[in-house]
Structures are given as structure tokens and as C-alpha cells.
Chains A and B, each alone.
Chain A
Amino acid sequence: MGQILQYIQSYLHSDQTPGAAGNMFWVLVYILLVFAGLSAAVIAMNWLERKILAHMQVRLGPMRVGPHGLMQPFADAIKLLLKEDIMPAEADALIFWVAPFVVVLAAFTVFVVVPFGPTHAITDMNIGILFMLGVSSLSVLGIVMAGWASNSHYPLIGALRSSAQMVSYEVAMGLAVVSAILMTSLNAEGTGTLSMIGIVQAQLAQHEWFIFKFFPLGLVAFFIFAIAMVAETNRAPFDLAEAESELTAGFHTEYSGFRWSLFFLAEYSAMIAVSSIAVTLWLGGWLRPFPNLFSGATWDLVFSWFPGVTFLLFAAMCFFNAARMPKHPLFRVQTIGLAGFGVVLALVGLVLFIPAVSGRIEDIFWFAAKVAGFMYLYIWYRGTFPRYRFDQLMQMGWKVLLPMGLGVLILTASVALLQPILWHP
């Protein structure tokens, strides 16, 4: 017993990720935490997307299940789980059954290397980014399987579209990623890294996020990635694979209930995954913003209050809306519920002001905040843009993003090579 406790405690003083330290107990804990956090994020995204989109479209969105529809995702989840499991008679049963799991597996596995903080990752691989790109592109396999096994025209076209789309955008995406990785090698030893944690630490060491590096090269590479990642996740305006008005629902037309919810889960966690890549590579991962402009212990302290302040703001929003609730007995439960939710958020916010807590949470907070920014962008795109046509999408991928990616890569490499000669003789 003592040995086990010692084994568990031994990690607490480590400055490595549990996977790298080889501590299986903490690996399991982290896996559970990441999985739970991700599921919570998907649930929150579901609600937020519907609410934000609704407000962009001058409507209210879910309002009935819980205060301001807060319980709507749970109601939906229960509905989906209780639905009849339908498999088309002509479908290829085995492949039809496996496909959603392949997609979900690919979407969740990438989180093994996502660094939420210097030690907050399940593991740190020396090929982290390669692993992420590789595994996340496995989801196309699941989509093709789903489209093929459904044995129906619309899913087939959807699957073909999405495989062509994902394959072609991966090229541009890869080039943008390589140009960011090149930047990690700008140190005394001249050695770069593919490790996700290493990439962020390189930005810390160079006192510059890679989005600002070699302006505007880092920015262009970031934009290429930002466009390609929307295409990669099949979201608007590149949602051709599930273009509702054309292909009813694309590759998952024949899926319903639990299987469909797996595709839904995978789509949202894939969005979070690619956003994490973008945040890690260009936006400094878990690092707080403005490290150069506002440096020093005072500013560090001020920035450490941000998580708490954010939660307090959310709590204030809850209280404000609870106060605005109609004063009618029918709304009493909802009002109390919303106020209670606000109290919970406020308590969490207050706890986050404790230095010992905020020191551990701050990294995760900044990482999550940046990813949340990308999530908002996804929703914003969906609210504003019409959908690209297939040929235009391909044209954009191969004729615009790919040459740009190549150009940025070559320029970044040249600047990186010339920099020591030209500017630091």
C-alpha cells in the first residue's frame, strides 16, 4: 500500500508529463480528465453553438429545457441514446457498425499529445505534431467507410467529397505546419522539435509566438492552417460532405441515434483538436498573452487573476439573466436554477483566485481560452458564409493554399538561414 502511495506521489514533484515520466496511475487519471473535459466541452459547444448562432440570426435558440436552454444538450443526448438503432437492410453491417467508432477513435486519440500546460498532457512524444496530423487524418477512413457501407447515393457522394477534400487540404495544412516547425529550430543548437510541448517552449524561449515570427510569414502560415483546418473538419463554409441542402446529411444520412451522436461527438472533438494544433503552433499554446509587453511579477499576478475574473463574469451573466427572468411562478424553478448555476460559477471563480490553484490552472485556462476563440470563429463562419462548391473548394486547396504554403515554407527557410548572417553578423 505504501509503495503504491509512493508511486502515486512520486509524480507530483516531476516536471514532466505523466506519460513521459512513465507513471501509469497519473496517465490514467489524465486520460479520464481529458476525456471528461472533452465531453464537457462538446456538450458546452453544442449549447453555445446553438445559442450564439441563434443570436446572430435574431432568434433565441433553445429556451425551454432549463434556464436559457442550458439543459438542452442533455435532453438531446438522452433522446439520441433512447432512439431506435436503425441499420439499413442493404447496408454492409460490419463496416456500418465500425465506421463511427473509427471516426471517434481518431478524434479522441489525438488528445494524447495535446499540451494543456507544460506538464498537463497525457504524454509528450518527440513526434507529437506528426502523430496528431497522422491520427486526425484517420477519421477520413471512418467517413469513407460510413459512406460506402450505407449503400446509398447521398452518403456515397458525401464520403467521396469529404475524402477528396480532407486529402487535398492536408497537404496545404502540412506545409503550414512545417514552416512553423522550422521556426522551432531557431536556437543556439539549431535543432528543432516535433514535440507539442517543445514547440510551445520554443516560442517561450524565443519570446515570440510563431504567428508574429518573421512577420508576415508566420501570419500567412497561420491563415493557411486556419482555412485548411475548417476544411479538414468539414465545417461551414467547407461542409460539403454533409451539405444539408444538397446531400441531405452527406455521409451520415443513414445513421441515427447513438451512432449519429458518435459522428457528432467526433466532429466537435476534431474541431477542438485542430484548434489545439493551431493554438500550439502559432498562438503560444498555454502561454499567457502579451508576455513581452506586460512582463514582470506584477503583470504575472494580474494575468493570474484572469481565470477567476472570467468565471466571475460568467456568474454575473447568470445573475443578470436570472434577475431578468419573468416574475411568474412558472419561471421560479428556472430562475433559481440559473442563479444556482451562477453561484457555482462564482465559487469556482473565487477558488481560482487562490494562488496555489491559479498557478496550476492558469496554463489550462489560457489554452482553453484560445481554443474557445477558434470555436467562436467556427460558429461565426457558419453564421455568415455560404457553402463553397466542390470544384471551387478543390481549386482553393490546390491552386491557392498549396502554392502559398510552399512559398511560405521556402521563404521561412530562407529567412531562417539568412537571419544569422544578415542581422547578426
Chain B
Amino acid sequence: MTDPNTLSHLDLEAPEKPFLDANELVINMGPQHPATHGVLRVILRLDGEKVLGLECVIGYLHRGVEKIGEHRTYTMFNPYVDRMDYVAAVSNGLGYCETVEKLLSVEAPPRAQYVRVILTELNRIASHQLWLGTHALDIGAITPLFYTFRDREEILKIYEKYCGARLTTHAFRIGGLQYETYAGFEKDVKNFLDFFRPKIDEYEELLTTNRIWLERTKNVGSISAEDCIALGVTGPVLRASGVKWDLRKAQPYANYKNFDFDIPIGQNGDTYDRYLVRIAEMRQSVRVVEQAVGSIPEGAVMAKVPKVIKPAVGEVYHSIEAPKGELGYFIVSDGSTQPYRVRVRPPSFVNLQALDLMCRGQLVADVIAVIGTLDIVLGEVDR
């Protein structure tokens, strides 16, 4: 029996193991499975219902986004990043645009910065809503899904009005915004905030004190802060383990330093804490958007960026706090119009490493809960 606390990688075909162990059952969960959030394949080794170990098989949604980047100009590659974490496309776009801006040493004008913050934070809410709905659905509560999707619709409507797209928005350009905001943008956002604040209470009413929800999430998939750091886990998962690490505060980008908001953290690092952290993050996002929407400055939405982007030879790494964790872009420029190399550090991919550690010794039903609580998007894991 392997020690559940070691990070040693499990070997499903260890030769010294007996060929047929009556106590062991190997189950192939996915890639077509209702609860693996896309095309994740998990090979589970079970003793009855208990998980002895598991292995993730990824790559079913690999589209070679990074390689595509080497054959597109900087501007042409911009829409591709939206397709990685498709439920938080705006965050992806923000990370990419800021990275290239860093490479070019330009900065987006203040008005663009404010609108970027509003759209990104709205996207964080939308992403967390989708997470909450599907996570609760995995645990068997089917109703929250419809509540969250109903409210997420309002955010998507704002996106649609702003740029015509709902999901893969391509909202930003290198150096600013893709479009000037539409008339009534601020009013729409404010209306949404007023509409959305009571809705968070509604979600909480269904779940936070629900006895079964507590039993299903407390002490499930616990992960310590040390393990999180060792595995490179970021985002709400890290914060739920008690580490106050949020790039919006730690390495302020965009103009997050102008806004007043808290970083919610948990203590136990279990599924319930991650739930609470994400719920609290929705409230904080509402706070940020509220501050930003009231003070959007006038001015241009695009900085002076050459039509043909041709950065000097060099490399740059820039990361932002995406809804799921640290989303980093590493871009190497060889001085041409196309990046020499684009490397993405997707939060879901890194967080997924923790799945084995979090699931060992738990039950099959907990694997589902943990996959849900990690909030992975396979588009981002496989790229």
C-alpha cells in the first residue's frame, strides 16, 4: 500500500504486483463521463469504493495553441488565447495583452485599464458561477446550476453588447480595448451588480448550511499549504489552504492597486473552504467592479501601438490572477512579427497535479467532488 501522503507517482503496471488482485478494481473514468468537466480521463485504482490512487490522462482537447502562436503575428494570436480557458476568456486575453505590452514597454491608457478590470472581474464572477453550478451538480444538487446559469446570462449579455461575442470575447487588444464601450455600459454593469448581490445569498442559502453539502465537502480533498506550494497550486485552491497569495495584490497588474478589496482565505484547505473562498471572491469582485464602474476616466482606449507589432529581441514573463489561479505567459521574441515561442502557464493544468494527492484514501464520490472543486477547464489543461 502506498503512503497517501507521498507525492510518488503511481505506477499502474508495477511488475511485482499480482496479476489479479481481488481487492483492486481499475476503473477508467472518462474521457466521456458526465463529471470530468470535459474530456479528462482519470484511471482510478479502487479498493471497493476507496481510492488507492489515480492517474490523469490528458490531451484529448490538445489543439497546439502554443505552437499556433509561433506561426501567427502577435495580433493574430490574440483570439486564440480565448479558446484556452473558454469560461474565462477575458482573463486569458488580459494576460496575453499585458504580456505583449510589457514586451513592447507600452501601457494601456487609464480608461482602458478600468474597463479591463470591470470586464475581467465580471468574467471572474461568471467563471465562479459556472464552477459553482457544475460543482454542485457533481455532488448531486441539481438546482444551483440553473440559478447560476440564469445569472451568468446577465454577464454574457453585457459582453454581447460590448463586443458581440458571449464566450470567446476577444475583448482586448494589445495596447488597450478592442472597442470603445457602448452607450449605457456603466448603467448595465451597475444594474447587474444590484441584481447579482442578493443572488449570491440565494446560492448560499441553498448550500452553505445544507447538512448534506457540509458532509460531502468538509474534510474532502484536503490539501495543506505546503503541498499546494510544492505542487505549484495557485488560485482559490491555494487560498483555501490558508495562503494569502493573490497576484492582484502581490504583483499588482492592470490598475488593481487602485481598488480596495480583500483576499478571502480558508483554513482547512478542504472542499468546503474552497467553496467559501470562491463565494467570497464573487462578493469581492462585485466590490471591485463597483469601485471601477463609478470612476471610469474619459480618454482614449488605445495606447500608441504600431500597426505591425515587432518587439525587440527579448523575453518576458507576466502572470495575472485568473479565476482559476496564476495564468502566466512567457513570450520569447526574436525581433520578428511573430513570437519565437509562446509558453502558457495555465492554472488548471498545474492545479490538476494535486488531484492524485487530494483523492488518495477517499471514496469514488469524493474524486468527483475534488475534480469539481479544482475548477479545471480542459481547454486550458490541454491547450
Interface residues of A (CB under 8 A from B): 53, 56-59, 153-154, 157, 161, 236-237, 239-240, 243-246, 248, 382-392
Contacts and interface: CB of A to CB of B under 8 A. Distances in A.
Given A245-B34, A387-B216, 15 more contacts: A56-B143, A58-B146, A157-B27, A161-B49, A239-B140, A245-B140, A246-B368, A383-B142, A385-B212, A386-B136, A386-B140, A386-B207, A387-B212, A388-B216, A389-B365
A293 B139 CA distance: 45
B363 A248 contact: no
Contacts, number: 84
B268 to A, nearest CB: 18
B33 interface: yes
A196 to B, nearest CB: 33
A157 to B, nearest CB: 7
10 contacts: A58-B150, A245-B137, A384-B141, A385-B210, A386-B140, A386-B207, A386-B212, A387-B140, A387-B216, A388-B212
A53 B210 CA distance: 19
Given A246-B35, A390-B49, A237 B140 contact: yes
Interface in B188-238: 206-207, 210, 212-213, 215-216
A410 to B, nearest CB: 27
Query: Lowest 8 CB-CB distances: which A-B pairs, in order?
Result: A387-B140, A245-B35, A386-B141, A57-B146, A386-B140, A386-B139, A245-B138, A389-B365
A111 to B, nearest CB: 30
Given A153-B25, A389-B215, A390-B363, A384 B143 contact: yes
Q: Which of A59, A246, A384, A388 has most B Cβ within 10 Å? A: A246
Interface residues on B, range: 20 to 34
B365 A384 contact: no
Contact of B365 (A153, A154, A236, A390): A390
A246 B142 contact: no
Given A56-B143, A386-B140, A248 B49 contact: no
A154 to B, nearest CB: 8
A320 B146 CA distance: 27
A244 B34 contact: yes
Interface string B14-28: 000000000001011
Given A58-B147, A384-B141, A157 B216 contact: no
B364 interface: yes
A246 B368 CA distance: 7
B141 A385 contact: yes
B25 A243 contact: no
A59 B366 contact: no
A243 B141 contact: no
Q: Which of B28, B34, B150 has most A Cβ within 10 Å? A: B34
